[in-house]
């Protein structure tokens, strides 16, 4: 079992909307009492979970995430891959799970499809859209507003519980049924 959190490396991108995958995996690692190790070979930070599980944070920048996933999987066999990522098309406060479907315009997922043409599970964390439609790139690379921080923390806690459940049960459908969240109110 491999859980991949998408984001961009370097402090400039830390805790931005586009980095929710990294932030949630960091929370999960802390909760499990494990830490990430950097690997040049994988172009990623990774952590071992139990006997057969791993957490992976590609350090290639979002648009090249598939390169790191492919490099990691050349050395590690896994039964399933779950991608944790931001989703503009879901409102802030939503958490959805998909076992099928395409990239939905997400460049990190596009890269993964190019380098790993196999089905992956997805945990989509809603970040909403900017009121200014033409400002999408700036929006995803911004931090959450102070008014959104409390809601973000609730979403991250919900996502953490879902991933802990998934690691214990190993059942994506059960996690999907139990933890899908249409929205939390601010």
Q: What is the mean pLDDT of the chain?
A: 92
Note if 18 is an active site residue: yes
For the chain, the domain total comes to 1
Span 35-45, average pLDDT:
98
User: How do residues 67-90 score in pLDDT, each as one tens digit?
Assistant: 999 999 999 988 899 999 999 999
Q: Which domain holds residue 65?
A: 2-179
Residue 128 contacts residue 88 (beta carbons within 8 Å): yes
Question: So what's the pLDDT on residue 41?
Answer: 97
In a domain, 17, yes or no: yes
Q: Is the pLDDT of residue 151 over 70?
A: yes
Contact 164, 31 (CB under 8 A): yes
What pTM was computed for the model?
0.94
Given a cut of 60, whether residue 39 has pLDDT beyond it is: yes
- The more confidently predicted of residues 136 and 177 is 177
Please indicate, yes or no, if residue 185 is contained in any of the structural domains: no
Asked if residue 102 is part of any domain, the answer here is yes
Give a yes or no: residue 166 inside a domain.
Answer: yes
State the pLDDT confidence band at 186, using cuts at 50, 70 and 90: low
User: pLDDT-based confidence at 183, cuts 50/70/90?
Assistant: confident
Of residues 15, 18, 118, 158, which has the active-site annotation? 18
Q: What CATH number is associated with residue 102?
A: 3.40.50.1470
Looking at residues 41-58, what average pLDDT do you find? 95
pLDDT tens digit sequence for 83-114: 999 999 999 989 999 988 776 667 899 999 99
- Annotated binding site: which residue ranges? 13, 61, 63, 107
Q: Domain for residue 186, yes or no?
A: no
| Beta-strand runs (E) in the chain | 2-5, 37-39, 44-49, 53-58, 81-87, 95-98, 121-126
Classify residue 184: in a domain, yes or no.
no
Q: 158, 173, 172, 151: which is closest to 28 by C-alpha?
A: 158
Residue in the structure block whose two tokens are 């997805």: 122
H runs (alpha helix) in 19-148: 20-32, 65-73, 107-115, 136-140
User: For residue 11, is it within any domain?
Assistant: yes
Q: What does the pLDDT read at residue 1?
A: 95
Known binding residues for tRNA are 13, 61, 63, 107
Query: Which has the higher per-residue pLDDT, 38 or 100?
Result: 38
- Tell which phi-psi region holds residue 170, choosing left (phi > 0), alpha (psi between -120 and 50) or beta: left
Q: Establish if 137 belongs to a structural domain.
A: yes
Q: What percentage of the chain reaches a pLDDT higher than 90?
A: 78
């Amino acid at each position: 079992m491999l859980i991949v959190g998408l984001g961009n490396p370097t402090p400039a991108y830390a805790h931005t909307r586009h980095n929710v995958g990294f932030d949630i995996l960091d929370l999960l690692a802390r909760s499990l009492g494990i830490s990430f190790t950097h690997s040049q070979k994988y172009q990623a930070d990774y952590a071992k979970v139990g006997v057969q599980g791993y957490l992976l944070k590609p350090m290639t920048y979002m648009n090249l995430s598939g390169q790191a996933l492919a490099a990691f999987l050349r050395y590690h066999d896994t039964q399933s891959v779950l991608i944790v990522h931001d989703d503009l098309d879901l409102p802030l406060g939503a958490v959805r799970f998909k076992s099928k479907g395409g990239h939905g315009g997400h460049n990190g997922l596009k890269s993964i499809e190019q380098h790993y043409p196999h089905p992956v599970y997805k945990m989509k964390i809603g970040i909403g859209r900017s009121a200014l439609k033409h400002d999408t790139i700036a929006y995803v690379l911004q931090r959450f507003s102070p008014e959104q921080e409390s809601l973000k923390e609730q979403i991250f806690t919900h996502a953490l519980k879902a991933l802990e459940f998934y690691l214990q049960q190993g059942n994506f459908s059960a996690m999907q049924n139990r933890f899908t969240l249409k929205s939390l109110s601010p």
